[in-house]
Structure 1
């Protein structure tokens, strides 16, 4: 997700509240400290990836 892109889309629709929301999200992300290697390792456990796509019968 790209907060700047979402803010620009909201602005294009004339949605000032949406634009302000996404710009606020982007500001918070920019101010956050980087994750430590331990935090990254813990988060990776939570991210499930499917090594092979499921094929459904037609």
Structure 2
């Protein structure tokens, strides 16, 4: 789900503050410079998930 979708959902609920917030988030993200290759690599490590869920139950 992206900021535009969240803004549309907020507008559908009549939540003008929520809509304004998500539209602002979308604007800030769109104005941000692109990530460097090093930043992309670091984020990939941080958000990597195990494709096989492991149980933590004993």
TM exceeding 0.5: yes
Alignment-derived partner of residue 2 in structure 1: 2
- RMSD in angstroms over aligned alpha carbons? 1.6
Cα displacement string for residues 3-58 of structure 1 (whole angstroms, at most 9, x for unaligned residues): 00000010011100000000000000100011010110111111131121347xxx
Question: Which 4+ stretches in 1 moved above 4 angstroms?
Answer: none
TM-score normalised per structure 2: 0.84
Unaligned stretches of 5+ residues in structure 1: none
Query: Structure 2 matches for 1:1-58, cutoff 5 A?
Result: 1-54=1-54
**Pairs aligned (count):** 56
How far apart in 2 are the matches of 1:51 and 1:32? 31
Structure 2 unaligned blocks of 5 or more: none
